[in-house]
Amino acid sequence: MMSFQTFMQHLVNGISLGSLYALIAIGYTMVYGILRLINFAHGDIFMLGTYFAFYAMTSFMLPWWAAFVIAIVLTCVFGMIIERTAYRPLRNSPKISVMISAIGVSFLIENLAIVLFGGRPKAFPIPPLFGNIINIGGVRIANIVFIIPVITIISLAILLYIINKTKIGMAMRAVSKDYQASMLMGIDVNHVISVTFGIGSVLAAIGGIMWAMRYPQLMPLMGIMPGLKCFIAAVVGGIGNIKGAVIGGFILGLSEILIVAFLPELSGYRDAFAFVFLILILLFMPGGLMGENIKEKV
Amino acid sequence: MKKHVAILLILVLMMSLFSVGCVKKVETAQEGEQGAQEDVIKIGVFEPLTGANAAGGELEVQGIKLANEKYPEVLGKKVELVIVDNKSDKVEAANAATRLVDKDNVSVVLGSWGSGFSIAAGQVLKEKQVPAIGTSATNPLVTKNNDYYYRVCFIDPFQGKVMANYAFNEVGAKKVALVIEKSNDYSVGLAKFFEEAFVALTGDENAIVSKVFYITGDQDFSAQLTNLKDSGAEAIFAPGNFTESALIMKQARELGIDLPILGGDTWETPDLLDIAKETAEGVVFSTFFDAKATFNENTTEFLEAYEKAYPGKEPAAVTALSYDAYVLAIDAIERAGSADPKAIRDAIAATKDFKGAAGIVNFDENGDAVKSAVIKTVKDGKFTFKTIVDPK
């Protein structure tokens, strides 16, 4: 039988993984909420964020906080460039064209990264502040495990504030309802969408950096799985719903860990489980857990 | 107008997808002129140059190129290396083998890092009747029932036994936990042979107290390791890709698991040390070669060539093995007296006491090399030689 200590350790592990999923899923779901576009390149933007931070720290010898800020800014700019070149020209095309374009962008970034950064994994230097481990009654918790949920909650709060309380947020909500009408009302739709992508990429970069500090191994294809998992988290929470994405992320992370914890012989099927979960949600609860809030969607 | 731009953009993106989707020819050492085709002998190489195993593939290509510089000609003809990327993917490995045989008409194939890729390609090569010399793939299935696959390294039953002996005699462990990379033939096989040998040594049916699994590409092992912590194991045997293994070492130490961690030959890459950092300290694994364990004069020759090409660096075991694979191929072509794949196969099969840089190679009935193993550990952030274990 599992001891209480072991169970608590599993719980901590699950919350740690879940908050990472939540953090990345927020950006995913926000872009969808406003543009009705599943940005398949989100996981790859996430990967770029980690590489930017890596090179800022190792090649330019910047202190970690400066490196993180620069990585976030660069990723933000990069996200906007992607929107400008790959999505904006398709603004009036059917949604499916934009989605295909997103898949293309995803492959393009992945393969570009293989060429530019090389296929060999890189070790992410963890600043000592985040690397320490605390022992609470036999449950071992890395500092970063506390920091990630805090950052997730802060990001969530800031995002909700921007969307609900600011002018640009109001414009985003308007665009998400009906972008043609918004245009007629004098909203600069291109600008609003650009900002949306910028914010989405900032969230991806923050998520990427946090991920890299938990799993300090960078690879050009590292964004694929987290990207897909966070897509699942977003769907579970009700895609387009930001609070739902956070809840979805925690549910997914916790259940992944607990499945392995209680059914160790199934641990090879952990990814499969996540996708079965997606299928079940789509079959029985297509709106996701918070889908009934559809009117509040941003 | 906008629509045209959009369609064009989609086309470009799709094409970029396709161009990278196909097996790509990474490099050709000497581009043969169209007319000069008959004047070269082509040796195919398939290695993971991108993906999870790229570091290993790169090290092996180093060795092959080094040997090619040293022995650029055979039977008075130039040797042309055709190197293709198998992308750390089994399907791509089979594609790569098909391509080497059908399109490039190579006489013999070398590679690959990773047993799974070698097994996948082996089926193709067997059908096409082109011989292959494995570099560092250690799973028995690579050469089993395949008269066209040989290899210059020892195999997992031997390696599993060596590590089981080490765990029992040197570590003094009576109970061991296994961490298995379920989607990796190498890891599954090695863990099984370790288990058999260890159970035989201890005489205890339940000597393996815990088995936990993960799959290639996983990054979070906290749940598996937390389970393992409670199992009462005195050592951990965790063969697998160095990429995942490095994270396992890190997360195990983070969770406060301070048991000795043992593994296999795949760990010997600088990247493992980079990623696992101080958490790799003290891990022990078996491998093929160490610069400090000179087997014969060819070891010295290899070390000198390596020092010249990569001054101040220590060669990895797989670099020495891939060097051996190339030299053995040249030697077999020489003995066969032709570039005909079947003649070369027979020559490889007839190899006796081939003096490789990484030890003397004799083949058993399956085409596996019977040779010594080296045990290494990580000390002060460096791979450090421990001892040599002879076969049987």
Q: Given B49, B58, B254, which is nearest A133 (Cβ)? A: B254
pLDDT digits (tens, 9 = 90+) for A24-64: 999 888 888 888 888 889 999 999 999 999 999 999 988 99
* Domain count along chain A: 1
Identify the pLDDT of residue B8. 58
B26-33: average pLDDT: 44
Determine whether the interchain pair B220/A215 forms a contact, defined as Cβ–Cβ distance below 8 Å: yes
Give whole-number Cα distances, B257 to A16, A32, B194, B260, B379, in Å: 19, 42, 21, 9, 19
B82 three-state secondary structure: strand
Determine whether the interchain pair A93/B52 forms a contact, defined as Cβ–Cβ distance below 8 Å: no
pLDDT digits (tens, 9 = 90+) for A222-241: 999 999 999 999 888 888 88
- In this complex, how many residue pairs, one in chain A and one in chain B, have their CB atoms less than 8 Å apart? 131
A97 interaction partners in chain B (CB closer than 8 Å): 6, 10
Q: Which domain holds residue A244?
A: 4-296
Which superfamily, per CATH, for B37-154+296-371?
Response regulator (3.40.50.2300)
CA-based R_g, chain B, Å: 22
B135, pLDDT greater than 90: yes
> How close does chain A come to B85, measured CA to CA in Å?
11
**Secondary element (H or E) of residue A247:** helix A242-262
> How close does chain B come to A245, measured CA to CA in Å?
21
Q: Given A16, A101, A258, which is nearest B10 (Cβ)? A: A101
Q: Burial, A283: exposed, middle or buried (Cβ in 10 Å; 0-12, 13-18, 19+)?
A: exposed
**What is this model's ipTM?**
0.83
- Contact present, A224 and A90 (Cβ < 8 Å): no
d(CA B4, CA B330): 55
- Contact present, B17 and A104 (Cβ < 8 Å): yes
A241 touches B: beta carbon within 8 Å: no
B255 → chain A, closest CA residue: A140
The answer to whether the predicted template modeling score (pTM) of the entire model surpasses 0.90 is no
> How close does chain B come to A31, measured CA to CA in Å?
21
Determine whether the interchain pair A265/B213 forms a contact, defined as Cβ–Cβ distance below 8 Å: yes
B231 touches A: beta carbon within 8 Å: no
The count of C-alpha atoms lying within 13 angstroms of the C-alpha of B296, restricted to the half-sphere facing its C-beta, is 12
Q: In A144-175, which positions are buried (b, 16+ CB within 10 angstroms) versus exposed (e)?
A: bbbbbbebbeebbeebeebbeeeeebebbbbb
Query: Which domain CATH number covers A221?
Result: 1.10.3470
> How close does chain A come to B268, measured CA to CA in Å?
14
Residues of chain A with pLDDT under 70: 1, 291-298
A119 interaction partners in chain B (CB closer than 8 Å): 48-51, 54
Identify the pLDDT of residue B4. 65
B255, pLDDT greater than 70: yes
For chain B, the structural domain boundaries read 37-154+296-371, 156-287
Q: How confident is the model at residue B193 (pLDDT cuts 50, 70, 90)?
A: very high
B277 interaction partners in chain A (CB closer than 8 Å): 123
> How close does chain B come to A248, measured CA to CA in Å?
18
A16 touches B: beta carbon within 8 Å: yes
Contacts with B, A 19-78, CB within 8 Å: none
Residues 6+ positions from B11 with CB-CB distance below 8 Å: none
B50 touches A: beta carbon within 8 Å: yes
A9 touches B: beta carbon within 8 Å: yes
pLDDT digits (tens, 9 = 90+) for A193-218: 999 999 999 999 999 999 999 899 99
CATH topology for the B156-287 domain = Rossmann fold (3.40.50)
Q: Given A104, A119, A120, which is nearest B13 (Cβ)? A: A104
Q: Given B183, B218, B226, which is nearest A13 (Cβ)? A: B226
> How close does chain B come to A213, measured CA to CA in Å?
11
pLDDT digits (tens, 9 = 90+) for B96-131: 999 999 999 999 999 898 889 999 999 999 999 999
B383, pLDDT greater than 80: yes
Q: How confident is the model at residue B15 (pLDDT cuts 50, 70, 90)?
A: low
d(CA A117, CA A173): 38
